[in-house]
């Protein structure tokens, strides 16, 4: 194994490795930040675009749904257009749609431009991952994934902070205009430093794509609108769930029986890849769920302004960056499964620390738990990415990266939906239970809150606000506890992953679209 690794070569040879990596990561970070940067600007958009609170959320929903539907298209488009040309088209389109979003004068315009922004942005993350894997030899895949993972994981952390700062200092439109210089730099770098690759046109499976898109789009609608529609008490949610299940069923059966399916399910015979996707689904739930809970906790309950919230959350990103720089080198020397277990343990510990939160606490518990969690997730992400592709035939790499990122995004949507629903339901339950103790017959009321007995409306409002705050804090703590249990439950999956050292480094010597090597891990060779 060591001998094979020592002579391994990248699938693509580039002359200017550093500048190309910078250009790729600029495009990646631009897309990842845009998934969260617009959240804090929604109230300002609502007033400017004459939208209601319900309809303005389509600014977020349209982007999420279109990006989810188009992500699996990355593999086919990469073969049809070539990766360099596709990357340039997507960067240019994403940047252009960002500018149009900033110039939008009505809600329909904004939703349409956001939808197209999601279409162009969907391929940027999987393309960046597959290209970084191909321009680096196998022994440097850990370091390449450390760079890529830093952008993926730090982006959602700085997105709301950057969006809040731009909105307060300039205008909500600059949330989108900020992409223009970044997009120009990324486009120029890819044009100048990325080599052209031969195209491998393959037949487009329209039915398979339509069924997969139907399933993904309907599932995203369920997750996005479920809480507002009271979940399964709504006929709309049942209809969307039925469409998602039917679309997934038709897609799977069609892919099994079709000669040239939209996505070759043969890649799922690779155990590392299949288990890696399952694991990434859980990591997606943990990663963005916490990021969705902390800003409203700090702003609504603790009274932090947007800028302060971002500064308090910044050490979390610093912890992630530090651990990724370290693990990028350790992954070739230490069993990646050990690093994943260590990362999950730190993540679970940080969530346990978060179960001790209270309204009266200072900033240090938020900062310390964030640093620990950032280090933990950084330790998980890079080894997991390395293990997922360790035994996968290189010809499936672009399709594999698109599925990897699709599963991560779906896991994030599922996680956010779960914690949001639990937060709302538990807040109601806690409020009822706490309020039940405030009666004229309670000794605490008679001794400490005698004014409650007078029925003064102002006093009742103050006490009700106190109960609501405590009920919400308890619900947040219970959410953190739920995430801790999910993290602990994910640990046994690590045992199903095989360390890459057990396999010969045959994939490193193959081209990006080459056939499987004899004796590979359950991957059949396919003629191009």
pLDDT digits (tens, 9 = 90+) for 363-420: 888 888 888 888 888 888 778 877 787 777 777 777 788 888 888 878 877 887 888 8
What pLDDT is attached to residue 287? 72
> At 239, is the secondary structure helix, strand, or coil?
helix
Q: Measure CA 39 to chain center.
A: 15
What pLDDT is attached to residue 97? 92
pLDDT digits (tens, 9 = 90+) for 497-514: 776 654 444 443 344 333
pLDDT digits (tens, 9 = 90+) for 301-356: 887 776 777 778 778 777 877 887 787 777 777 777 888 888 889 989 999 998 88
Q: Cβ(296)–Cβ(114) under 8 Å?
A: no
What pLDDT is attached to residue 183? 92
> At 436, is the secondary structure helix, strand, or coil?
helix
Residue for token pair 């992630």: 320
**What percentage of residues in the chain have a pLDDT greater than 70?**
83
User: Mean of the pLDDT values across residues 182-197?
Assistant: 87
What pLDDT is attached to residue 99? 92
With 0-12 CB in 10 A as exposed, 13-18 as middle and 19+ as buried, what is 145? buried
Q: Cβ(349)–Cβ(294) under 8 Å?
A: no
**What percentage of residues in the chain have a pLDDT greater than 90?**
6
SS3 string, 43-61, reads HHHHHHCCCCCCCCCHHHH
Enter the pTM of the model.
Answer: 0.73
Q: Is residue 159 predicted with pLDDT exceeding 80?
A: no
Helix 336-354, helix 457-490: angle, nearest 10: 160
Q: Cβ(148)–Cβ(99) under 8 Å?
A: no
Residues 6+ apart with CB under 8 A from 290: 351, 354, 373, 480, 483
Domain 11-198 of CATH type 1.20.1250.20: yes
Domain 267-439+448-507 of CATH type 1.20.1250.20: yes
pLDDT digits (tens, 9 = 90+) for 442-471: 665 555 555 555 556 676 677 777 788 888
As a whole number of angstroms, the distance between CA 125 and CA 94 comes to 12
Q: What are the boundaries of each domain within the chain?
A: 11-198, 205-261, 267-439+448-507
Q: Cβ(377)–Cβ(320) under 8 Å?
A: yes
Identical fold for domains 11-198 and 267-439+448-507, yes or no, is yes
- In this structure, what DSSP letter does residue 492 have? G
As a whole number of angstroms, the distance between CA 53 and CA 366 comes to 30
What pLDDT is attached to residue 92? 93
Residues 6+ apart with CB under 8 A from 442: none
As a whole number of angstroms, the distance between CA 237 and CA 234 comes to 6
Count Cβ atoms below 10 Å from residue 476 Cβ, excluding itself.
24
């Amino acid at each position: 194994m060591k001998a094979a690794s020592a002579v391994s070569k990248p699938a693509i040879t580039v002359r200017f490795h550093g500048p190309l990596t910078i250009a790729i990561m600029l495009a990646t970070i631009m897309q990842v930040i845009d998934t969260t940067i617009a959240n804090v600007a929604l109230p300002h958009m609502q007033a400017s675009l004459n939208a209601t609170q319900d309809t303005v959320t389509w600014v977020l929903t349209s982007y999420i749904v279109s990006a989810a539907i188009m992500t699996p298209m990355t593999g086919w488009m990469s073969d049809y257009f070539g990766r360099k040309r596709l990357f340039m088209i997507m960067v240019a389109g994403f940047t252009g749609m960002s500018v149009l979003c900033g110039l939008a004068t009505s809600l329909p315009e904004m939703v349409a431009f956001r939808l197209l922004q999601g279409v162009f942005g969907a391929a940027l993350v999987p393309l960046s991952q597959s290209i970084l894997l191909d321009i680096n030899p196998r022994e440097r895949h850990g370091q390449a994934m450390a760079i890529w993972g830093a952008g993926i994981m730090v982006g959602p952390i700085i997105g709301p902070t950057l969006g809040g700062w731009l909105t307060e200092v300039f205008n909500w439109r600059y949330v989108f205009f900020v992409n223009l210089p970044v997009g120009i730099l990324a486009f120029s770098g890819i044009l100048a430093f990325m080599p052209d690759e031969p195209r491998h046109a393959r037949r487009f499976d329209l039915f398979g794509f339509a069924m997969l898109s139907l399933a993904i789009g309907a599932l995203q609608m369920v997750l996005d609108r479920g809480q507002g529609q009271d979940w399964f008490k709504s006929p709309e949610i049942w209809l969307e769930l039925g469409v998602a299940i039917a679309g997934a069923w038709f897609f799977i059966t069609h892919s099994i029986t079709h000669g040239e399916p939209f996505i070759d399910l043969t890649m799922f015979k690779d155990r590392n890849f299949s288990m890696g996707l399952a694991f990434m689904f859980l990591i997606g739930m943990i990663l963005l769920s916490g990021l969705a809970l902390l800003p409203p906790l700090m702003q609504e309950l603790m009274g932090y302004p947007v800028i302060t919230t971002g500064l308090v959350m910044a050490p979390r990103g610093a912890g992630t960056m530090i651990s990724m720089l370290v693990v990028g080198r350790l992954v070739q020397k230490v069993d990646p499964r050990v690093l994943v277990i260590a990362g999950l343990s730190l993540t679970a510990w940080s969530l346990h620390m978060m179960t001790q939160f209270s309204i009266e606490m200072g900033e240090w518990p938020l900062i310390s738990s964030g640093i620990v969690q950032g280090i933990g997730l950084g330790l998980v992400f890079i080894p997991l990415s390395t293990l997922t592709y360790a035994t996968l035939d290189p010809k499936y790499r672009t399709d594999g990266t698109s599925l990897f990122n699709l599963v991560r995004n779906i896991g994030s949507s599922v996680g956010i939906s779960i914690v949001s629903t639990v937060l709302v339901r538990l807040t109601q339950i806690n409020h009822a239970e706490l309020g039940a103790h405030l009666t004229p017959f309670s000794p605490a009321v008679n001794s400490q809150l005698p004014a409650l007995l007078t029925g003064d409306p102002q006093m009742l409002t103050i006490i009700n606000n106190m109960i609501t705050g405590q009920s919400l804090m308890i619900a947040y703590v219970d959410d953190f506890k739920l995430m801790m249990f999910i993290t602990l439950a994910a640990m046994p999956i690590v045992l199903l992953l095989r360390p890459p050292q057990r396999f010969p480094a045959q994939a490193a010597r193959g081209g990006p679209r080459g056939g499987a090597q004899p004796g590979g891990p359950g991957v059949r060779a396919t003629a191009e």
